[in-house]
Amino acid sequence: MKAFMMLAALSAMVGLGMPAYAEHPQSNSEVTYIPDVTFTLRTDIADGKLVYISEAGPTKGQVNPDLKVAEGAVVQINVVNGDGALHDLAIPEFDAQSDQISGKGAATSIVFRANKEGTFEYLCTLPGHKAAGMVGKLIVGDPQQQAGGTDKDLSKDPHDVGEPVGKRGPKNVTVDLETTEVVGRLSDGSSYKFWTFNNTIPGPMIRVRVGDTVTVNMKNADESSNIHSVDFHAVTGPGGGAAVTQAAPGQSKSFSFKPLSPGLYVYHCATPMVAQHITNGMYGMILVEPEGGLSEVDREFYVMQGELYTAQRHGSSGLQEFSLDKMLDERPEHMMFNGAMDALTGIHKMESETGDNVRIFFGVGGPNLVSSFHVIGEIFDRVYDQASLTSPPLTDVQTTLVPPGGATMVEFVTDYPGRYILVDHALSRAEKGLVGILQVNGEADPAIFESSESADQSAGH
């Protein structure tokens, strides 16, 4: 109540032309402001997500509205707690951070000068709240081209799993890879100069069987600035192929190998500095199926986890630049599935039906961090630990560890409809972009799960 009265007083002062004071003057060199524009947001729950809802103006009623202001404007954002949970609001690029508020009806505010043009995130900094939906965009000025807005989408479609080998015999297989260096979209408003195999991150999923003869043709694009190569963990031979594929821009290199052991294996660039080539996007997976192939399932998905080390902080707009110091300290600013922050939440849609048997080929490009792979609300019926296809699978697993340069294969039946979230259960990483969604459609079985709300609705009918 006290906080709400303070907010009312603050609004009254502004209305009378009196100066309003930022609650956190240490976050900005200018202390006293008369705001040029004021927004009021209410915290709430909508469609099962935590959100901000606009309380006034042309955006009234909108969820996580775009807040548009002129460059140089003094901006006040009021936040009213509408759901009784603990929240705050921050815009890191402007060092603007509110107090935390917990009581329903409590309020706080931030005041800052929008002194640089671009698109920036506003978000709740409480652990998990951004991933749960409390994030929106502050758009400053009228950029002729919002950074990242026209950049190429390099994210990998998780449906691109290749053709199952089935029961066919060994044959000759040709794999063509091109290494490229291209500016691509990282998230709305931000981009990065990625290095790739075949212009996607991860590179193509390659599918062969034990006993095949595989010929790899690798070309380094004429426009590249760096030497590139490829190391297949599935190869028995010098450097996994890297020793014979070090290619300067415009060069092509080839080698052949015979897959000796079934499994799901990572491949990556192995040109010094190897970790830099990997973090920039040069990783993928090759599935070596056993004789007779894998069992049939209803859905298969290809998912890889990566890290990006940038000089700019997470949430910054514009072209991001590589930071060697952060990579050596293993402090990524961005983490993602399939090459972009929203690759598996907005760009590509993973879906299944109730009763489907789902298989996920999951790997970690890295280069540094171990993943604790988990699907919230699901239990893995089978986990092929370390991607070993010749060992008996683990059963009934909640979370599985996957090292950098490692992989796993998980299978589970989607028994109940809903929105299932893919995460690394080192959950603070979700705040850096490491989130995916599996949407399960179909009829709900109350014997499996039933909320009190749905039970009340059923009784009412």
- The tens digit of pLDDT for each residue in 178-192 reads 999 999 999 888 999
Confidence check: pLDDT of 17 > 60: no
pLDDT of residue 57: 79
Which contiguous run of DSSP H or E holds residue 427?
none
pLDDT of residue 396: 98
Kind of pairing, strands 74-81 and 107-113? antiparallel
pLDDT of residue 453: 63
Fold assignment, 2-140: Immunoglobulin-like (2.60.40)
Average pLDDT over residues 39-56: 91
Confidence check: pLDDT of 407 > 90: yes
pLDDT of residue 108: 93
Bridge partners of residue 152, in order along the sequence? 184
Mean pLDDT of the chain: 89
Which regions of the chain carry the CATH code 2.60.40.420? 2-140, 172-289, 299-441
pLDDT of residue 23: 38
Amino acid at 154: L
Cβ atoms of residues 305 and 364 within 8 Å: yes
Confidence check: pLDDT of 216 > 50: yes
Going by pLDDT thresholds of 50, 70 and 90, the confidence category of residue 314 is: confident
**Alpha-carbon gap, residue 333 to 144, rounded angstroms:** 27
Please return the burial class of 114, using the count of CB atoms within 10 Å of its CB with bins 0-12, 13-18 and 19+.
buried
Going by pLDDT thresholds of 50, 70 and 90, the confidence category of residue 81 is: very high
- When the candidates are 3.40.50.2300, 2.60.40.420, 2.40.50.140, 3.40.50.720, the CATH number that belongs to 172-289 is 2.60.40.420
Higher pLDDT pick, 393 / 316: 393
**Alpha-carbon gap, residue 17 to 9, rounded angstroms:** 12
Kind of pairing, strands 356-366 and 407-414? antiparallel
Residue 425 labeled ligand binder:
yes
Residue 277 labeled ligand binder:
yes
Residue 124 labeled ligand binder:
no
Q: Which of 136-145, 328-337, 357-366 has the lowest mean pLDDT?
A: 136-145
Q: Which of 7-11, 254-258, 313-317 has the lowest mean pLDDT?
A: 7-11
Average pLDDT over residues 280-291: 98
- Tokens linked to 448: 């499996």
Which contiguous run of DSSP H or E holds residue 399?
strand 399-402
Q: What are phi and psi of 417, to 5 degrees?
A: -70, 155
Average pLDDT over residues 297-320: 94
Average pLDDT over residues 285-311: 97
pLDDT of residue 143: 55
Alpha helices in 310-451 (DSSP H): 324-328
**Alpha-carbon gap, residue 210 to 390, rounded angstroms:** 12
Residue 268 labeled ligand binder:
yes
pLDDT of residue 188: 83
Residue with tokens 């020793």: 243
Residue 282 labeled ligand binder:
yes
Average pLDDT over residues 379-385: 98
Confidence check: pLDDT of 343 > 90: yes
What is the Cβ-side half-sphere exposure of residue 423, based on CA atoms within 13 angstroms? 20
Query: pTM for the complete prediction?
Result: 0.74
Cβ atoms of residues 376 and 189 within 8 Å: no
Residue with tokens 């998905």: 301
Give percent of the chain with pLDDT exceeding 90.
79
Higher pLDDT pick, 15 / 173: 173
Confidence check: pLDDT of 15 > 50: no
Average pLDDT over residues 277-290: 98
pLDDT of residue 454: 55
Residue 233 labeled ligand binder:
yes
Q: Which CATH class is domain 299-441?
A: mainly beta
